[in-house]
Amino acid sequence: MLQFAALFASIALSAQPTDPAAAPSTPPAPAAPTPPAAALPTDIVAARAAFKTKLSESAPKGDGSEPDRPGSLFTLTTYKSSAGDLAAYLTPDPKDGQKHPAIIVCTGGFGGIGDDSWMVERFTGHFRKAGMVVMCPSWRGQQKNPGVFEGFYGELDDALAAVEHVRALPYVDPARVYITGHSTGGTISLLVAEATDKVRASFPLGPCFDMAAVTHDGKFYGDPAPFDAGNPLEVRLRSPIEFIAGLKAPTFSFEGRLSPNDELSTEANRRAKKADKAFTAFSIREADHFNIVDPINALIAAKIAADTGPTCSIVINDGEVQKAFAARRLPFTPRENADTKASIVSFTLPAVNQIVEQMKAKDKDPKKTFIRVGIDAYFNQYVRFEDEPVNGDLTFAFKSFTVVIDPLSNRLMRGTLIGYDKDGGFSYRNPNEN
């Protein structure tokens, strides 16, 4: 989620797109070809059975805190996983003698469960009002739970245990158990559909298809990786895109077109179609990673309520997805930063000085180094060094360095003022924050 800090007094620097660089007089030696990655089994369970993940000794543990006590709508309970007893929120038994459909709602982020799991209507309200039993599980290594954070590895085992827990409840119809989730929760709900046919359908919102997008320089979502991030197989075995062809349950994935996560939707659809799997990834026009939750959950709840036959009969088409979003959200329009009046990013003087100092410390040649500004798949804004731009990047020449930015990040960060504080690092004043 975008985070913004107070800035020093700003000094906006004007910039213009650079001219194409002149070709070097001596062509560089061709790079050695990269060997293709070894094929994985399409079945995620089989692929992981042949591999043992290597977790870091510093893999984070929970902080020991107790999840917030919910009100009357939910009870705080536990379910058993291979890691031990894990906390969850669960709607109580309706005590009407009926077996009800149920949905597991996987919360986003990595902090466990709290009042945003059960108080915020857009996450669970549509499902509760449609008469469903709702479970919001937490995962190993969160709060007071046993185990450590594994980065979508052991957490899949926890989610599968949550499915079994819900299916065994006497007031739940085991043939009508669904799963959904947003962001990291969307990723887990997609992995579950690839691992088991015991969910009737999966509805991931904003999943990360490829963990390579959030794994950089030993970091995972910006923090030290809990696994060996230098091992490509560790990353691939956590990536849902690798196992779309082994999908075991009908799946409908949703993401806003303004989100970096949306980039692999087309590839996911291609792989699913080739394997003849019941999967569709919807790219929602003028939507971002966050504002899809309420309108799409309303659509999902209505579809589940009508899915009463012996097997899943849910059909969702692109037109109704776009209509559902448009009916509840205004289109996104980038706004100009009132301080900078800039249509691109700009920098405070401390930020400029810090970038120049880092280039010197890293022995980087300013003429051969590019400063990449952008937003990652989890909507963290960043500044980092790169040796060359990527095809399609926008390039801007500043006085002391050259900035590259991908078109989507440019749209979401238009008018952003980047500052620097020695205590807090780079900060971003973005007029498009929502």
The residue ranges of every structural domain in the chain are 16-21+335-429, 51-326
Is the pTM higher than 0.85?
no
C-alpha span between 89 and 106 (Å, rounded): 11
C-alpha span between 167 and 319 (Å, rounded): 33
C-alpha span between 231 and 187 (Å, rounded): 20
Contacting residues for 390 by C-beta, under 8 A, at least 6 apart:
404, 406
Q: What is the largest CA-CA distance in the chain?
A: 82
| Residue numbers in the chain where pLDDT is lower than 50 | 1-34, 331-332, 336-341
**In this predicted structure, what is the pLDDT of residue 337?**
47
Cα radius of gyration (the chain): 23
What letter represents residue 149's amino acid? Answer: F
Structure tokens at 79: 């379910």
C-alpha span between 294 and 329 (Å, rounded): 9
The H-assigned helical ranges of 232-386 are 232-236, 265-274, 293-306, 318-326, 349-361
What letter represents residue 184's amino acid? Answer: T
**In this predicted structure, what is the pLDDT of residue 29?**
47
CATH superfamily, region 16-21+335-429: HesB-like domain (2.60.300.12)
Return the CATH number of the domain spanning residue range 51-326.
Answer: 3.40.50.1820
Helix (H) or strand (E) holding 381: strand 381-386
Structure tokens at 333: 């329009």
Asked whether the beta carbons of 251 and 241 are under 8 A apart, the reply is: no
Measured in whole angstroms, how far is the alpha carbon of residue 161 from the centre of its chain? 22
**In this predicted structure, what is the pLDDT of residue 239?**
98
pLDDT digits (tens, 9 = 90+) for 367-420: 889 999 988 755 778 898 888 888 778 888 888 899 999 887 888 888 899 999
Q: Tell me if residue 10 falls in helix, strand or coil.
A: coil
Helix (H) or strand (E) holding 404: strand 402-405
In terms of phi and psi (left: phi > 0; alpha: psi -120 to 50; beta: otherwise), the region of 379 is: left
Structure tokens at 257: 């077109």
**In this predicted structure, what is the pLDDT of residue 432?**
77
Closest CA to 277 of 31, 115, 42: 42
**In this predicted structure, what is the pLDDT of residue 10?**
27
255 pairs with which residues across the strands?
A: 283
Structure tokens at 153: 């590895």
Q: Tell me if residue 46 falls in helix, strand or coil.
A: helix
**In this predicted structure, what is the pLDDT of residue 9?**
24
Looking up tokens 């990527």, which residue turns up? 390
